[in-house]
Structure 1
Amino acid sequence: MTPSKHQFVGKKVKLGELCEIYSGGTPKRSVSEYWTGGNVPWVKIGDITEKYVSSTEECITQAGLNNSSAKLFKPGTLLYSIFASIGAVGILNILAATNQAIAGLVIRDNSLDHDFLYHYLKSREVASKTSGRGVAQSNINLTILRNMQVPVPPLVVQKEIVQNLEIVSRQLKMAKLQLSKLDSLVKSRFVEMFGDFACYETKPLIKCVDCIEAGKSPKCLAFSRKMAEPGVLKLSAISSGVYCENENKALPRSVSLTIDKVVHANDILLSRKNTPELVGRSVLVKHTDGNIMFPDIIFRMHPLSPINAMYLSYLLAGPLLHSIQSLAHGSAKSMSNIPKSELAKLSIPIPALNLQNEFANFASQVDKSRFGGMLHLLNSLSGIMHASFFSVADTD
């Protein structure tokens, strides 16, 4: 559709008036001809990792496209996730279809700059996570999306905002790259220090920790807690390999924290139930406000002597991750689950404690660089980016 002439400048306008909005679909997995040998890129939320989506993990066939609610979107279509991870945003660089968790937005009005809308939707994602309100519910439908209010300042202002945000985006990307390099440095050091685990004494995991316990999942509100109010972690709090306490759901006022399920510093948390690629992911909690619980789909453990917590956490998250994930039960269509009884038998190599402590000291020094420098810069840039965007763009 050819965009219309400018008509919304200086107003807040419903997204549905600015764009054509469609949802995608999934061909039946049971029909092999819809998937085998497919050459139509098919976008899932996990494929939206950068501003531009240029490749996908899976493809469907033309028959799959024709016999499902999936739609083919042209390059330049904005993608917006409406289920599960709400508010993930990307721009198609290729001709592709999407699953039903992703809406395709095609701008139909010249009042709106393509990159401006991308950044506005991106800022809504950040706002929903930090405010605990907005679009942070479990999912939204197309009606809610079409009714979303979007500010439309003059095009010259939109382009100026985009130019400034692109500069900050590049700085953010560089900061994230530096953090990634620090992570790689610690992982490399781990391999250098411990090498071939076959030479060490081993014990089953249950003999190396005080217990392996699941948390509790009371009914929560649809949004995140404010500041240090009571809450319950979401799986996304540990799925990235870094503990993210702001990934949570608020507890209703009528529900109290279960004290023995509250997260503490030095807890090792491991996802016992998740998608096949994320099940078994674990983190070491280094800082917490002590007012948040872990859910029943996460295991918690504390190492016993002679096991260092930092050593065990890197072991579980790195060399043993594949072994942990192989314990999971479930199909590709469902959430995989790791039985406690099988995780308890996992063989843990035990190097000399002084060697474990040496590694832990090294990792702690790297963490100081991460949290004292690069992570602070990353958070500051992200905050400046979106606060500035709202102050300029989100006006009446």
Structure 2
Amino acid sequence: MARLEEICAINMGQSPDSSTYNEDGNGLPFFQGNADFGEIYPAVRMWCSEPTKIAREKDILISVRAPIGALNIANCECCIGRGLAALTVNEDICAQEYLWHVLSGKVDELNSKGTGSTFKAINKKTLSETEIPLPPIDEQRKIAAVLDKVSGLIAKRRQQLDKLDEIVKAKFVEMFGDPVGNPMGWEKIALGKRCDIVTGNTPSRADPENYGNFIEWIKSDNINTPAVLLTEAQEYLSETGFHKCRFVEAGSLLMTCIAGSINCIGNVAVTDRRVAFNQQINAIVPKQDDVLYLYWLMLLSKPAIHSTINMALKGILSKGQLSEMAFPFPPLELQNQFSVFVKKTEKTKANINRSLEKLETLKKALMQEYFG
């Protein structure tokens, strides 16, 4: 084992004077924190004309403020704010690609050491004292090569899933046009006239008999757009709680309508089973329309949905607002044709997801084997 400070130079970021920030390309690219991170390399949104802390090209950038532990690679010399630290690896004793994988497995550990009431953060001392397993460098490179290969396959599977979603979006626009602009002139009807809108609720927690294992109780974190179907709930209601809850059957749509972030409002998922749900969610229960058409209609209408929300009111899309919003409704025959296409695509996605799950399980096992 070696302490992180023994295998790399640790450069903690510092926020320069805000008057030196600019969007004109004057100075060095400025990365403030995790929000600037991409898959591997950060995206430049801001520059700094008078940088205070500078990371070198190829340094590992690590987020030291919530969310702690996210990683990127600096693809140029850059200024780093207080949300980041830059790690310059001594490659005589540690392969950089090996350290990347070790640190990617340290996220939970680093987060557990974070302090602060509003935003948790770790300091240089915590980062410096982080212990890193350090086998001979040739073995490090072999380990990194194995993990790189598995990680590359995982990334490829995710890209395949993204590509299939893009294909479905393109099919929707080809058949129906952009739902916000409605260039094909479909009749626009208030959603509440076309579907039943139901707001969820929370049976009293003062009565523990309301909770048990009778029916799933869905929360907004089970609605993981762009995943079409709900994930499994972590909490269930009892049969007693079921008689006090609001629920829907399979073939309905659940939408997040209360959230701290506007990006979460309008997220949707299809129910493939009977579920109960809480008051942060509105259910859209179709009377005649195809639920997969409705899913993609809502997904592609998020900009219009967001335009109706007043974040000063804590980000609420009420049942009344949602009911009154008008959307284009093409003939059911066309909706059904689109639904057939989506179902075929979802079968392909299911196969890719199974492969992805196996690869992610393999990577976790390898990480445990290599790093403990």
Q: With the length of structure 2 as denominator, give the TM-score of the two structures.
A: 0.75
Higher mean C-alpha displacement, 75-84 vs 258-267? 258-267
Tell me how many residue pairs correspond in the alignment.
344
CA–CA separation in structure 1 for the residues paired with 2:80 and 2:273:
38
Query: CA, structure 1 residues 337+356, in 2 after alignment: closer, same or farther (shift >3 Å)?
Result: same
Query: CA, structure 1 residues 344+80, in 2 after alignment: closer, same or farther (shift >3 Å)?
Result: farther
Instruction: Give the deviation of 1:243 after TM superposition.
Output: 6.2
Q: Determine what percentage of the aligned residue pairs are the same residue.
A: 23
Instruction: Give the deviation of 1:184 after TM superposition.
Output: 1.8
Q: Secondary structure at the match of 2:282?
A: strand
Q: Secondary structure at the match of 1:306?
A: coil
Structure 2: gaps spanning 5 or more residues:
206-215, 236-240
Instruction: Give the deviation of 1:118 after TM superposition.
Output: 0.7
Deviations 1:239-284 (A, max 9, x none): 6522697799x78xxxxx99737898644233643546x2435131
**Which one of 52, 62, 66 corresponds to residue 49 of structure 2?**
62
Alignment of 1:52-131 (within 5 A): 52-53=41-42, 55-56=43-44, 58-63=45-50, 65-66=51-52, 71-108=53-90, 110-125=92-107, 128=108
One-letter amino acid of the counterpart of residue 254, structure 2: I
Q: Is the 8 A contact 1:268 1:302 kept in 2?
A: yes
Query: CA, structure 1 residues 74+380, in 2 after alignment: closer, same or farther (shift >3 Å)?
Result: same
Query: CA, structure 1 residues 355+109, in 2 after alignment: closer, same or farther (shift >3 Å)?
Result: closer
Q: Secondary structure at the match of 1:105?
A: strand
Q: Is the 8 A contact 1:238 1:271 kept in 2?
A: no
Q: Which residue number in structure 1 is paired with residue 310 of structure 2?
A: 329
Q: Is the 8 A contact 1:303 1:312 kept in 2?
A: no
Deviations 1:154-210 (A, max 9, x none): 211110011112222332232222222211221122122223735322222333443
Q: Which residue number in structure 1 is paired with residue 371 of structure 2?
A: 394
Structure 1: gaps spanning 5 or more residues:
1-10, 220-229, 252-256
CA–CA separation in structure 1 for the residues paired with 2:15 and 2:218:
31
CA–CA separation in structure 2 for the residues paired with 1:32 and 1:215:
48
Higher mean C-alpha displacement, 101-110 vs 261-270? 261-270
1:378 has 2:359 as partner: no
Q: Secondary structure at the match of 1:50?
A: coil
Deviations 1:55-111 (A, max 9, x none): 32x113324x45xxxx32111221223444443211111122344433333335743
Instruction: Give the deviation of 1:26 after TM superposition.
Output: 4.9
One-letter amino acid of the counterpart of residue 327, structure 1: T
Q: Is the 8 A contact 2:11 2:85 kept in 1?
A: yes
Q: Which residue number in structure 2 is paired with residue 49 of structure 1?
A: 38
CA–CA separation in structure 2 for the residues paired with 1:289 and 1:152:
51
CA–CA separation in structure 2 for the residues paired with 1:109 and 1:374:
37
Instruction: Give the deviation of 1:114 after TM superposition.
Output: 0.7
Q: Is the 8 A contact 1:273 1:337 kept in 2?
A: yes
Q: Which residue number in structure 1 is paired with residue 269 of structure 2?
A: 284
Q: Which residue number in structure 2 is paired with residue 347 of structure 1?
A: 326
CA–CA separation in structure 2 for the residues paired with 1:42 and 1:50:
17
Query: CA, structure 1 residues 262+154, in 2 after alignment: closer, same or farther (shift >3 Å)?
Result: farther
Instruction: Give the deviation of 1:378 after TM superposition.
Output: 1.6
CA–CA separation in structure 2 for the residues paired with 1:114 and 1:288:
47
Q: Secondary structure at the match of 1:284?
A: strand
Query: CA, structure 1 residues 205+42, in 2 after alignment: closer, same or farther (shift >3 Å)?
Result: farther
Higher mean C-alpha displacement, 115-124 vs 154-163? 115-124
Q: Is the 8 A contact 1:116 1:162 kept in 2?
A: yes
Query: CA, structure 1 residues 139+388, in 2 after alignment: closer, same or farther (shift >3 Å)?
Result: same
Instruction: Give the deviation of 1:115 after TM superposition.
Output: 0.6
Query: CA, structure 1 residues 190+368, in 2 after alignment: closer, same or farther (shift >3 Å)?
Result: same
One-letter amino acid of the counterpart of residue 152, structure 1: L
Deviations 1:319-372 (A, max 9, x none): x122122223349xxx9725425444321112222322332232122111111x
Q: Which residue number in structure 1 is paired with residue 22 of structure 2?
A: 35
CA–CA separation in structure 2 for the residues paired with 1:287 and 1:60:
48
Q: Secondary structure at the match of 1:176?
A: helix
CA–CA separation in structure 1 for the residues paired with 2:16 and 2:310:
24
Q: Which residue number in structure 1 is paired with residue 160 of structure 2?
A: 178
CA–CA separation in structure 1 for the residues paired with 2:314 and 2:47:
24
Q: Is the 8 A contact 2:229 2:269 kept in 1?
A: no
Q: CA RMSD in A?
A: 4.0
CA–CA separation in structure 2 for the residues paired with 1:368 and 1:104:
43
CA–CA separation in structure 2 for the residues paired with 1:247 and 1:106:
42
Q: Is the 8 A contact 2:59 2:87 kept in 1?
A: yes
Higher mean C-alpha displacement, 188-197 vs 152-161? 188-197
CA–CA separation in structure 1 for the residues paired with 2:317 and 2:11:
40
Q: Is the 8 A contact 1:269 1:285 kept in 2?
A: no
